[in-house]
Structure 1
Amino acid sequence: MIKCPLCNSKETTIHARAKDIEYFTSDREFDIRACKPCGILFVDPMLSDKLGDIYPANYYSFKVTKRNFVVAVKEWLDRRGLKALTRQIPGRDLSVLDIGGGTGWLLDQVKTADSRVSHTTVVDIDDGARDVAISKGHDFHLSRFEDFDAGDRKFDLILMLNLVEHVTDPRAVLSKAASLLSPKGLIWVKTPNFDSLDARLFRNHSWAGYHTPRHFVIFNRDSLERTARESGLAVANFDYTQGAPFWSISIFDTLRRIGVVQASADKPAIYHPVTPLLQAGAAAFDFARKPFGARLSQMVLTLKRRP
């Protein structure tokens, strides 16, 4: 019996089977398993010892993002969210850590959003992102976050956007982040939600939120908030946000399978010219549904240290 990576329970069942429909790093079909006691999904097997294989050189966070309308809107939304976050943090100088931050593109938005940001650090496994990040003025550590040594530095804001689903032990990662947080600091987490409309529609068609095989653990709201509390953190705010990346790649793969579009390891779906159009339509659809209480396919948490 396959054990849950979070609670070690043997009460796990197959939720779905999925392939890599984005970067085609393998032809293998992976099991997406559900743990009944802790309410998570996880991929089996977890290829944590093959990160160099499952994260190809053309992986999206390793690349400098090309400007287009969708990217511009996303950056505007990021800046608005970051400004609302940093406004809650007192102090004349702020230190910000982005875990899995690649070239530091999000830290660029933080600096634009708040002039008090005086120190920025990226922790990432991509050696190719180092020079770009450093050229932008960010401190760069080529390391898994689990192995990162911050010395005596504490951070006023820690960014974990689309990160906790990529690690084998999210609780340990959140606990370490909590230990690096300044007393009045905040952690901003964004991660997929498997309790969403697109996750149900594409459940048995390699839903892009599985991001197979790179998403190791996937949460819903209950399991995510519980894991945060078990990591020594308090939930300051929770929200759902648009899941355009998951909708667009899921729809793109449907079109690919019927022969309308093409993608390959050399030319992933994310870089196809039709993808920004699918993203724009999906984002508009999710924004239209959100006021009616829709559980969208990405969750955003603001976390703080427990008193």
Structure 2
Amino acid sequence: MAKIDDDRSGALVTKDSSSPACPIKGCTDTTWYADAHDIEYHTSDRTYSFHKCQRCDVLFIVPMLWDRLEEIYPKTYYSYAPKKLGIVLRQRSLDRRVLKVLASIPGDRLSVLDIGSGSGWMLDQIKSCSSRVGFTQCVDLDEGAQAQAVARGHAYHLGRIEQFETDRRFDLVLALGLIEHVRDPALVLRRIEGLLTAHGRVLIQTPNFDALDARLFRHCSWAGYHTPRHFVLFNRQSFTDLAKQSGLGVVSFSYIQSPGYWSVSVLGAMRRLGLIEISAQRPPYHHPLNPLLRASFAAFEFARTPFARLSQMVFTLGRR
């Protein structure tokens, strides 16, 4: 079945089907799953649709605004202010996990690549904790972060990972909160696989749409949709399958807590009911109720951790 790249949506459609095709394999066995709005930054009032591929078992957004990133990532986006929020949220949950993976990799001089690194704060932490790390590479689209990263001793590629060219191979690749933001996850995973040493590891964190909060807020703009910035969403099995198809095998896996998805989803519901006010100038992360909700749901998630499928997944991958 012939494919056409629809520049308006970023999704594939077919000449003989009105259904958007799955961005993983171009499958046409897709169905509407949910509608959602930007409940965080209110970049537009547009309604976006998430569709589900029955074969690949992934969700994907339509329209997929891969060529309009400046519109959907506003200046108030949380990762643009890492000292205020981004560093704290990511560092607390991932520092120990990153260092554990790093400790399992042999070698006296290791190279580490962080995709979507910002100013390289995670690489700063890694270098300060491990004298074996001799080379660090950032890949990011943030021009403002480049000078900071270089000043801290990191190499920096300003652009997408798909465009990154190097003869160096890396012992550890970090892709934390990245794969759900890209138009072609399979291409990115193949690119990562080609950048690994034989004993290299990849650490990936990505949302899980097969979680309790995802089901409860499915038709209420679940925060894990991160509309319209999350393009493709996985569950454990669908991401494992894609990794294998890309030449990568799962070394370890775990679910981790994401109380922020709960709190932002609840705040979005309260806004729709007219109980609170949230706007582009005041995202839900800065609402005074957010800390209380996060703390409450963190306790709830902690109690569920041993037996539940939580809404964030962490994979350690290696070459097959």
Q: TM-score range by the shorter chain?
A: over 0.9
73, 88, 91: which is aligned to 1:71? 88
Question: RMSD between aligned alpha carbons?
Answer: 1.8
> Comparing both chains, which one has the higher relative contact order based on Cα–Cα distances under 8 Å and sequence gaps of 6 or more?
1
Are residue 205 (structure 1) and residue 220 (structure 2) matched?
A: yes
Note the alpha carbon deviations across 1:133-182, whole angstroms, 9 max, x for none: 23333222110111112x21111110011111011110110010010011
CA distance in 2, matches of 1:201, 1:217: 19
Residues 287 and 109 (structure 1 numbering): CA distance in 2 closer, same or farther, change over 3 Å?
farther
Matches within 5 A, 1:79-90: 79-90=95-106
- Tell me the equivalent position of 1:59: 77
121, 132, 139: which is aligned to 1:105? 121
Could you tell me which runs of 5 or more consecutive residues in structure 1 were left unpaired when the two chains were aligned. Answer: none
Matches within 5 A, 1:1-307: 1-66=19-84, 71=88, 75-149=91-165, 151-291=166-306, 293-306=307-320
Residues 245 and 173 (structure 1 numbering): CA distance in 2 closer, same or farther, change over 3 Å?
same
Matching residue's letter, 2:73: Y
Kept after mapping to 1: 8 A contact 2:115/2:139? yes
169-178 vs 125-134, which moves further: 125-134
Note the alpha carbon deviations across 1:57-88, whole angstroms, 9 max, x for none: 221222232279x938x534322111211111
Kept after mapping to 2: 8 A contact 1:99/1:158? yes
Matching residue's letter, 1:81: R
CA distance in 1, matches of 2:266, 2:125: 29
CA distance in 1, matches of 2:217, 2:67: 28
Note the alpha carbon deviations across 1:233-257, whole angstroms, 9 max, x for none: 0110111111122112111212222
Residues 153 and 192 (structure 1 numbering): CA distance in 2 closer, same or farther, change over 3 Å?
same
CA distance in 2, matches of 1:228, 1:187: 11
Kept after mapping to 2: 8 A contact 1:35/1:41? yes
Kept after mapping to 2: 8 A contact 1:61/1:103? no
State the TM-score, normalizing by the size of structure 1.
0.93
Matching residue's letter, 2:99: K
Note the alpha carbon deviations across 1:6-61, whole angstroms, 9 max, x for none: 12111111110000111111110000000101100000111111011111122122
Matching residue's letter, 2:35: R
Matching residue's letter, 1:71: V
Matching residue's letter, 1:97: L
Count of equivalent residues: 302
CA distance in 1, matches of 2:167, 2:180: 27
196-205 vs 280-289, which moves further: 280-289
State the TM-score, normalizing by the size of structure 2.
0.89
CA distance in 1, matches of 2:225, 2:131: 37
Q: Quote the offset at 1:104 in angstroms.
A: 1.7
Residues 285 and 230 (structure 1 numbering): CA distance in 2 closer, same or farther, change over 3 Å?
same
218-227 vs 136-145, which moves further: 136-145
CA distance in 2, matches of 1:65, 1:106: 12
CA distance in 2, matches of 1:161, 1:57: 21
SS of aligned partner of 2:305: helix
CA distance in 2, matches of 1:230, 1:4: 16
Q: Quote the offset at 1:123 in angstroms.
A: 0.9
Residues 181 and 249 (structure 1 numbering): CA distance in 2 closer, same or farther, change over 3 Å?
same
122-131 vs 87-96, which moves further: 122-131
Matching residue's letter, 1:95: S
CA distance in 2, matches of 1:161, 1:123: 12
Give identity over the alignment, percent. Answer: 51
161-170 vs 129-138, which moves further: 129-138
